[in-house]
Structure 1
Amino acid sequence: MGLLASPPPPVFPSSPCRRSGKATLQKHFHPVATGKSCKWGKANRTAICRAAEIHGSEQIKGREQLRRGTVSPRLPVPDHIPRPPYDGTDRLPEVNPDRQMHDRESIVRMRAACELAARVLQYAGTLVKPSVTTDEIDRAVHQMIIDAGAYPSPLGYGGFPKSVCTSVNECICHGIPDSRALRDGDIINIDVTVYLNGYHGDTSRTYFCGEVDEPAKQLVKVTEECMLRGISACKHGASFKTIGERIR
């Protein structure tokens, strides 16, 4: 569950936990600021960007400030795997403003995409250990997705260079996997999205790496509770506003 909510190309990122799967025809990866790095496409996110800069400039108690590592080259996807429309371009796809109506077949396809995303996420969570790099998690996720005949949705979306989003500690959301090794006490949000049979299955969760401090545990606990309360408001005829108010 990200703290931001709009497009432009992703930069850095982290967000606390979102466990349930969801299916969408399109998904936006949000730009984020970490430390001095700050890139935004909308003026109304200036305040959040500034807050991220201030937060990134302060050393978290008992933990070294997060620093980016080396990003390895993009991993290949076999030719036989169907691609989403944005593959091969760094442009963000247009959002369809029309309400989407789904039949029984499309719902079955959605469920298949979400089920695969959930399995991949569960597997990725088992890899969270001190000394493991987020790049290693990306490679494992990439391989599991293509082995299932699906495409890793983040790859190439708006220029995103990796197959999964890994957001560590103060990183806001949609972090880019790199050579930084996880450390005891880190928290990491892993955001998995797969493209299967024309649909994106999307899910994420925040994991503890080793022994984390109480504020981190509380952050994840409360965020998960907010997510579950938001889900409980989802029903036929409910407005997005109602869901947001329940979370708030």
Structure 2
Amino acid sequence: MAKLDPMPKDRNGHLIPGAQTALRNVPPGIPRPEYVGKSAPRPFTGSDVYSPEAVERIRRAGRIAADAIALVGENVRPGITTDELDEIGHRYLVENNAYPSTLGYRGFSKSLCSSVNEVVCHGIPDNTVLEDGDIVNIDITAFVDGVHGDSNRTFVAGEPTEDVRLLVERTEESLRRGIKAVAPGRQVNVIGRAIESYAKRFGYGVIRDFTGHGVGEAFHSGLIIPHYDSAPQYDTVMEVGMVFTIEPMLTLGTHEWDMWEDNWTVTTKDKSMTAQFEHTLVVTERGADILTLPSTGMAA
């Protein structure tokens, strides 16, 4: 069997933009978010605190997103392209009458984000072929019944190096610790404190400029959830019924980053490997209730 071309990469083995396929079709009967067909969403003027009924709608959207991620993850393997993964996720969403929230958001052209190796976030699916040892973050948001549910997970293609395997495991653990810090009456910056205090044990970089966010009626409401310590400016007090994401991004090197000319793809400045995990959750009287668990009930 002929060896698959691992391009697009540069002479140093670092990713470069690949070729994209045409926009995927969404059946006309599936409701679109208001921003589709526009350059940007309208400003959000609602609240990040939701009624129990609205929370259940977000949970339904979140479960569809989580199930789509799980299905895509089952197909992560050496030899598959990120565009093929996008097609799998897209098909699952539309078959479940959900709109892929990223498709058409501020010009984003695909139904999920696929961030490979040194790509921190917002990678655009294309003809990049996954190789043995690569990692890929799959970020999917589903829009159903007027609300968004947002989640992501990092998967491994083949056998990773030991330091990369540990990075992935520990990034998921950092998400768990961030979720455990959630409680009504606390400022949101305690979440970042919990995440970075764990990550710095291992010398990992913690991305600062891309954060968790309010989500629900808006894809991004304006509420910011930091993942790093020393963020006193983010002093919003958590309330029962508040909905937002936590999505730490840890690296084997620097927290500094570059952006490709597509104005989406973010990579570590030193090209070190990076992993991310994300859940949408609601603040409860006892802490947090995760709204993006898959149908199997498997927790992060």
Band the TM-score falls in, shorter-chain normalisation:
0.7 to 0.9
Contact persistence 2:86–2:112 (CA under 8 A): yes
Question: Out of 71, 83, 101, which is 1:135 matched to?
Answer: 83
Separation of aligned partners in 2, 1:90 and 1:157: 8
Separation of aligned partners in 2, 1:132 and 1:148: 24
Question: Out of 107, 132, 139, which is 2:55 matched to?
Answer: 107
Aligned to 1:240: 188
C-alpha deviation, 1:57, in angstroms = 8.9
Pairing 1:52-201 to 2, within 5 Å after superposition: 59=12, 64-96=13-45, 99-201=47-149
- 3-state SS, counterpart of residue 205 of structure 1: strand
C-alpha deviation, 1:92, in angstroms = 3.9
Aligned residues: 188
TM-score, length-scaled by structure 2: 0.60
Contact persistence 2:112–2:139 (CA under 8 A): yes
Distance 1:108 1:219, change over 3 A: same
Higher strand share: 2
Separation of aligned partners in 2, 1:185 and 1:85: 39
Separation of aligned partners in 1, 2:159 and 2:194: 31
Pairing 1:213-232 to 2, within 5 Å after superposition: 213-232=161-180
Q: Percent identity?
A: 41
C-alpha deviation, 1:100, in angstroms = 3.1
Higher helix share: 1
Separation of aligned partners in 2, 1:102 and 1:189: 29
C-alpha deviation, 1:102, in angstroms = 1.9
Separation of aligned partners in 2, 1:232 and 1:224: 13
Separation of aligned partners in 1, 2:70 and 2:193: 29
Query: Structure 1 segments of 4 or more deviating over 6 A?
Result: none
User: CA deviation digits over 1:67-107, x for unaligned, max 9?
Assistant: 221011111111110110101112244243x5333222211
C-alpha deviation, 1:217, in angstroms = 1.1
Amino acid at match of 1:72: T
- 3-state SS, counterpart of residue 244 of structure 1: helix
Separation of aligned partners in 2, 1:225 and 1:196: 29
C-alpha deviation, 1:110, in angstroms = 1.0
C-alpha deviation, 1:180, in angstroms = 1.1
Separation of aligned partners in 2, 1:81 and 1:237: 38
Amino acid at match of 2:170: V
TM-score, length-scaled by structure 1: 0.72
Separation of aligned partners in 2, 1:122 and 1:191: 11
Contact persistence 2:136–2:154 (CA under 8 A): yes
C-alpha deviation, 1:174, in angstroms = 1.1
Unaligned runs of 5+ in 1: 1-55
Amino acid at match of 2:162: E
User: CA deviation digits over 1:24-43, x for unaligned, max 9?
Assistant: xxxxxxxxxxxxxxxxxxxx
Distance 1:135 1:57, change over 3 A: closer
C-alpha deviation, 1:224, in angstroms = 1.4
